[in-house]
Structure 1
């Protein structure tokens, strides 16, 4: 019998996908790439991880050496997208997204010109890049499928983020994708698909916005489509919930007593809880530190888009404040934003990136509470919402179950911000913003005489603890830029509360409590005044007012028992009586204009906003890569 002509070939250890072999050919400048190569290339399902791995192994000089191939890839992908033939158009967009993100992110010697060489060549740059943007614009607006339109948005986001500090995004400003992005948003049925477009819009608005008249920024001013605005806000709200839940996943801070199960666990009967599972012990601080430091998730860059809309568009602000939850039991967009902000504030100290986004949240809140129509809504019963506030670090605010007016929750956020970011090298600008938001809320309550139900004693305790902290670390704080203005903000805020508290505090006992806490801190106030040299400054009447009031009541309380201070041993009724008696003999003049504030001006925070934009660009890159 003759032997079979077929011979068994040993199996390789692993099979290499055909597309990876094509990638290797693409990235080898010794090959001439035929039209047949490209026909095959755009028919194989892409391997994004494989392409990324190969591209990451190339340096900027290698990319420039391969510019003949990279230009062919760029032109060929644009052509396939324009032809709108499945699956080549989708493959082209997926490939472009990975290729452009990797190629544009390299550290070129001359970024703008080198990138143009990689993509199109210096002589063809305008025509090729304009054609590229026009192609994306057409697909975003009227692509043959929702999936293809989403891919086009993601490609535009990836390119804008990767090339933000070059001239490439200027092609997006020349073309103006705003109408197409709005139509895309209008057509989206899933809020998750809105996020890339909303994110992209924020980057485009911030591209050189302080250097020239950015057309996207102008578009925000007069945009009045309620339906599209509400879709963007709903998307933002759901994104905030997702980002907040990432913090909770590291350390579940659901307060004890909120569920039957937690109550039974607390008393050792957790096995009786419905659907009970073995409880997981709270993670140690050294375990959670790196996990918390990596948050917030990269979706946080969409907060920049929200800020720009809030700063430019009154209709967007109104919808952000008033839009209800989509489903019963879910958080409204405002509640979701406030909840995320609470977690941002408690962890703002963990990284420079976290603190930048905490600033951005404060800018949004300041703009909202400055608007007289919006602050009226935030202080009214119509604004009542339930918000999950962060309880991952002490001190904790008192548990407040059920719905509360939004302004009360905003005050809670400011208290948490002040309490959880105390450092010797204090973030002065952060504290100025927190104090400024508090002043705006309190001055409105006082002017309109709204007696807001709130745990006011927590606010007074926080402010006076801040006095104590600053007195203790005055030598560290004094040299910091802006510390003098921050000190003035703090003193004037407490003096304003003292002089106007009867207009917004719900009952006499709450007003008495403010005076009593001031008396307890009298010696700290004197130390504070001397440490920051306030007695030598003109206009130091506010600190003098606080000290005089404290001294007045010290005298009364010392007179209750042979000159010995025994206020801590007095019953609440005795303290109340002493405070009330003191009103009759108390005389103080609070400085004029304590409740005044200057409206937010973006130009005043230009440097900080540029840093925030850079952080958002980096997060957009990560966001695009994850998808």
Structure 2
């Protein structure tokens, strides 16, 4: 028989040493009646470095009703932290700001029966809320503006972002409209020593400027309109460009991880639309679900800054001008506008994967359209730009992005609003190039192929598409854009061959144009130029038939076809509608429903940024 184990060895070993601050968390959140903790307790509490992961876990484990039962403790923690920040003594103020960021993120993320009143009860109490929150916002404002270091000021911004993103659907945000944080946030941006510090205050401004902006005159929106500090504007633009570049890098990283064979052709093949672009699916075809999952996580939460970018562009012409023209001191670095357009291209390629991606993609298109209003060619496409200028490159990048968007989002439940923006942006760019007689070197044949593929798609799936809202306006815009290119091609296409190519593509699509027109009754619409396209196509079809008969061969060579097209100009009369190169002024109220959806997405992303350890 073996020896009995010693009673000493049977004693349970002590748990891993518990930090003193964790003991204080346990003492604070005990569900017990009684008054406030002692002064000594709070002094020690804020002098000790917080264990934010443990605090987050403890608060995360509490239900809304648990928090309401612990309201004496949570109110004490909230008010004591505010007092500590106001006093401004190191390290207690730092610890108080970090603690508040986690407290607010946790308290505000719960699903309450009565969100506004329950949150108020947990943090301040209905009787005290006005005085407590007025004081809280004033303390944050002063700390952001004149805190003892940039780190402290940045932490105060993070607390404000935590409250703003967490309480966005409650009445608490009205305290930020009563006390305007704009001057403090801009002072912080002016004082910062790096572009990375600019991201949070600018993202925060975007959320504040969107709060109930259709219901009342939002003071942050007015501040954006009046702002003229060019140095701060350029810092914001540089920071936004860097953020766009980081977001894009994540797309590139995922694409590099995908197996070979992922291409536009295989993507169309997966959707059963390979015939539309005359391409066979590449082999091996990858599992679309694998790709979808990888891309569904993108863009990262930093995309919330795109809302602020839209608002500043919408409100401020000086911001628009700088956004389009700013070059970085390091000439090897990509200008911010190039990073923005490039990210937009990736968002458009993957817009169909998630609602969130399509919201940000469409938001960026609205931003681009507003930039075009301020700078029609995005940026000015001078007939003879200086040798070092990148400006024509931005215009071609924009054309590339629109082609990507058109090609990648063909679905039977077509996103009509997204496609309307593609066509609107293209129409503005082509109209400006034609008006200024700027012959832009570009692979225009790819654009014309994409536009005619869209017509082919609409003709093929008329039964699915006919009932979609606003599809009529989209069809008119598509036809009128091609008619504009036909009538003004000599003014913006770089070579006669590029112009000939457009005519040849129309001839090839002749039967489809007729089918498209008949499927939707386009000939009856006074605002549609389908008659122009059909008559041009028919004119050349007849000439080509004559050419075949005259030469005695079954098929003409490409050189002979080109010759027929050139000769055909002499007998061609293009009857186009007036106003093909005009457009309606942007009215933000028309996008009200959409912009509210984007604001909700940006708020959710801001919460993720705050919650990130």
TM-score of the aligned structures, taking structure 1 as reference length? 0.88
The CA RMSD over aligned residues, in Å, is 2.5
Structure-1 separation of matches of 2:192 and 2:9? 56
Once the two structures are superposed, residues 67-125 of structure 1 have per-residue CA deviations (whole angstroms, 9 ceiling, x without a partner) of 11111001000010011111110000000000001101211111111111111111111
Q: Which residue of 2 aligns with 1:395?
A: none
The counterpart of 1:311, out of the listed 296, 311, 314, is 314
Corresponding residue number in structure 1 for 2:183: 179
**CA distance in 2 between partners of 1:8 and 1:479 (Å):** 76
Counterpart of 1:251 in 2: which secondary structure?
helix
Partner of 1:618: 604
1:548 corresponds to? 535
Structure 1 pair 381/289, CA: closer, same or farther in 2 (3 Å)? farther
Would you say how many aligned residue pairs link Structure 1 and Structure 2? 580
For 2:255, which of 244, 251, 259 is the aligned residue? 251
Is the 8 Å Cα contact of residues 376 and 432 (structure 2) preserved in structure 1? Answer: no
Q: Residue deviations 1:35-88, cap 9 Å, x none? A: 322222112211222111111111211111111111100100001001111111
CA distance in 1, matches of 2:47, 2:553: 86
> Partner residue of 2:232?
228
Deviations 1:580-621 (A, max 9, x none): 111122123111111111122111111100100010000000
Residues in 2 aligned to 1:564 and 1:122: alpha-carbon distance in whole angstroms: 92
Q: Over residues 488-526 of structure 1, what are the superposed CA-to-partner deviations in whole Å (9 max), with x where a residue is unaligned? A: 110111111111111111121111110000000000000
1:318-397 superposed matches below 5 A: 318-372=321-375, 375=378, 377-378=380-381, 382=385
Check 1:231–1:382 CA distance in 2 against 1; reply closer, same or farther (3 A cut). Answer: farther
1:438 is the counterpart of 2:440: no
Matching residue of 2:170: 166
Unpaired segments ≥5 residues, structure 2? 1-7, 261-283
SS in 2 for 1:189: coil
Q: Contact conserved, 1:439 with 1:595, CA < 8 A, in 2?
A: yes
Separation of aligned partners in 2, 1:385 and 1:433: 31
> What are structure 1's unaligned runs of at least 5 residues?
1-5, 257-280, 387-401
Measure, in 2, the Cα distance between the counterparts of 1:244 and 1:194: 19
Shift of residue 564, structure 1, vs aligned partner: 11
Residue 403 of structure 1: how far off its partner (Å): 8.1
Q: Is the CA contact (8 Å cut-off) linking 1:385 and 1:404 kept in structure 2?
A: no
What residue in structure 2 maps to residue 205 of structure 1? 209
2:122 aligned counterpart, secondary structure: helix
Deviations 1:274-312 (A, max 9, x none): xxxxxxx99965433212101001010101111100001
* Equivalent in the alignment of 2:58: 54
Corresponding residue for 1:16?
18
Taking the aligned partners of 1:378 and 1:518, their CA distance within structure 2 comes to: 28
Contact 2:376 2:428 in 1 (8 A): no
1:64 equivalent in alignment to 2:68? yes
1:559 aligned onto 2:546:
yes
TM-score (norm 2): 0.90
Identify if the C-alpha distance between structure 1 residues 282 and 225 changes in structure 2 by more than 3 Å, giving closer, same or farther.
Answer: farther
Q: Distance in 1 between matches of 2:114 and 2:553?
A: 73
Choose the corresponding residue for 2:291, options 282, 288, 291. 288
Contact 2:381 2:433 in 1 (8 A): no
